[in-house]
Amino acid sequence: FSAGSFEATDPEGVRIPAEDFSAGFVEAGVAWAYRWDDLAGYNLSVGTVGKGIAADIGDYRSNGVGMDMGVQASDPSRNLRIGAVVKNLNLEPADHEEAKMPMSVAVGLAYHSSTLRKSQFFVDWNSPKYGAYTLRLGGEYRWNKDFNLRAGYRFLENEVVHLYQKL
């Protein structure tokens, strides 16, 4: 699929028409998932997807094969769910070492309130291989079957460190 055409500029922002370029990306995958109910009082779900990705940016082309894997455990008696996922595990070397898909790891926790019926609360942590990790907090109130009210906040790595230092 085409991402369109882009105008090339020099560091000062002056356009260089002869250097304009286009980009395109294609991804295809095969997924599998399984759920075990009442496994020692818990429900456990696992899943994985194998995927192939091709990228074409200007004169640069790259192909890669990767995998995402996730697991979720829920404790129905406590209205609690915890999950973890690893995204973009590289299964084979990409055309260029620097072109590998950026791996990330995420862990999340969800609580369905029994005192505040129709309410859920969430927290998750996402750590990419490159870049800053994020911590997200949120909640949801189900007004009716067609309308949910959601709110949340995302803390970037430097905000989390700053908040921790204040405590």
Distance CA 124, CA 139 (A): 12
Rounded to two decimals, the pTM is: 0.71
Tens digits of residue pLDDT in 29-72: 999 999 999 888 889 999 999 998 888 888 877 778 889 999 99
pLDDT tier at 160 (50, 70, 90 boundaries)?
low
Task: Give the alpha-carbon dihedral of 86, 92, 98, 102, to 10 degrees.
Answer: -10
